[in-house]
Amino acid sequence: MIGRRVVRFADERLRLAQIVRKGMAKVFPDHWSFMLGEIALYSFLVLVLTGVYLSLFFEPSTGERLYTGSFEPLNGEMLSAAFASTVELSWDVRGGLLMRQAHHWAALIFVAAIVAHLSRIFFTGAFRKPRDINWVVGTTLLLLAVFNGFAGYSLPDDLLSGSGLRIASAIVLSVPVIGSWMQFVLFGGEFPGNDVIERLYAAHILLVPGAIALLIGVHLTILIRQKHSQFRGPGRGERNVVGSRMWPDYAFRSIALLCAVAAVVFGLGGFAQINPVWLWGPFEPSHVTTPAQPDWYVGWVEGALRLFPPVEFTVFGHLVPAPFIPGVLIPAVTFLVIYCWPWLERRFTKDAVHHHQLDRPREHPFRIAVGVWALWFYGLLLIAAADDIIAAELRIPVFDLVRLLQVAVLILPLLAAFIAYVLARALRAHPEHRLTTMRWQHLGAGLPRRRRRHASASVRRSTE
């Protein structure tokens, strides 16, 4: 009864009934891959809720205080407030460790879901006009998520996160001309500085989450305004969407996914240990820990730093240090290409019309080749970030492993891209087949034309 009165009160003043009725009738496609974006959304929701809880107990300061908590090895030690409060969260606050670990796992899943969502958009051509604007929004969300994740795991001021900040400081200082100024803005002076934790904390809990929430709202508004894309099929066209209505089918499916994401995140938070900072100890600039790897979404940058040769050069009288190319240039070019891809593809394909139906990946072999190359290239860089662990487990010299990975990162992505290109062309020539039903004789249709003409000429010469 009270609910009806509230609804009637709001409708009489805001005229919401028609808007709500139209929204509940909106149709969403049924394909499972469209739920990847919702996994990112619900992971962000878990991040916000757990982050609010953690902010009640965390002290963002490098100022020292006496630790008197339950973790005996550090009891009575003078620690930074950030590290001491993190250890207290884990050992003394009821539910603190669960919330900390769930927050960390949710961050990993959040970025992974965005990457998977953007990959689905890329391989199916959902970035084409008029959805190129949403591609830019999604890429910006990925960039903000990566930065906020790095800022978050740098806050505890433990030895591992401090080592990561030291690497970040070296990358910032490698930027010619403005590197020292950027260092001053971020760290408040020379590393480690006294202001970095406070500045990262402000960005982590306020500025970046606010920007992410705003962009999610923009993303959903554009999606509703433009209507949903869909795969081709019976009854599906450029002017309609076939699937489930918002209420009740899609709403219940979405609520179930929210519960599943929360269950997975808190299950991992309760049973899978992650980032036990009390084992690493407080950060000391003269100390180091091994093995030491960052979270996966910035691991590819560290992998590039480990593999790239120590090359320094001078430009217009300014020294360009070795970390600049792998730490600044490669990430900058990566995101620049991602941002510009819709317009790059449009320029080469001359396809400027509006698209509301998705491609089958096989229909664009070159796009498939580029995507596969990128997945292999950055995947190998991510593996390189753990070269010390791999070398220790396999009992091989780490320098030999580095040389092997340096060769692999140049050759394997190109080889994988060529194989993907040939398979996509062969599947496009035989649309009735899937990859699992292809035969060796079908692959001839996927070979580049010059090789096919050369092969046919050889056959003619042999028959003559």
Weakest-pLDDT range from 5-9, 351-355, 356-360, 456-460: 456-460
pLDDT at 353 over 90: no
Percent over 90 (pLDDT), the chain: 63
What's the average model confidence in pLDDT over 175-185? 89
Query: Half-sphere exposure of 462 toward its Cβ, with a 13 Å CA cutoff?
Result: 6
> Which tens digit of pLDDT belongs to each residue from 121-162?
999 999 999 999 999 999 999 999 999 999 999 999 999 999
Q: What is the distance between the alpha carbons of residues 325 and 337, in angstroms, rounded to a whole number?
A: 16
Which structural domains are found in the chain, ordered by start?
30-331 (1.20.810.10), 360-464 (no CATH)
Residues 6+ apart with CB under 8 A from 83: 156, 157, 158, 277, 282, 283
- Looking at per-residue confidence, does 193 or 319 come out higher? 319
**Single-letter amino acid code for the residue at 303:** G
Local confidence band at 372 (pLDDT 50, 70, 90 cut-offs): very high
Note the pLDDT of residue 250. Answer: 86
Q: What is the distance between the alpha carbons of residues 118 and 137, in angstroms, rounded to a whole number?
A: 11
What's the average model confidence in pLDDT over 261-282? 95
pLDDT at 291 over 70: yes
Q: What is the distance between the alpha carbons of residues 30 and 258, in angstroms, rounded to a whole number?
A: 17
**Torsion on CA atoms 359, 39, 23, 243, rounded to nearest 10:** 40
Note the pLDDT of residue 143. Answer: 97
Local confidence band at 1 (pLDDT 50, 70, 90 cut-offs): low
Local confidence band at 200 (pLDDT 50, 70, 90 cut-offs): very high
pLDDT at 299 over 90: yes
Note the pLDDT of residue 231. Answer: 85
* Average pLDDT score, the chain: 89
Note the pLDDT of residue 133. Answer: 94
Is residue 130 reached through a cis peptide bond, with omega within 30 degrees of 0 on the bond before it? yes
> Which tens digit of pLDDT belongs to each residue from 46-56?
999 999 999 99
Asked whether the beta carbons of 396 and 428 are under 8 A apart, the reply is no
Percent over 70 (pLDDT), the chain: 95
pLDDT at 235 over 70: yes
Note the pLDDT of residue 459. Answer: 41
Note the pLDDT of residue 464. Answer: 42
Exposure pattern of 90-127 as b/e (b: 16+ CB <10 Å)?
Answer: beebeebbbbbbbbbbbbbbbbbbbbebbebbbbbbbb
pLDDT at 97 over 90: yes
Note the pLDDT of residue 234. Answer: 81
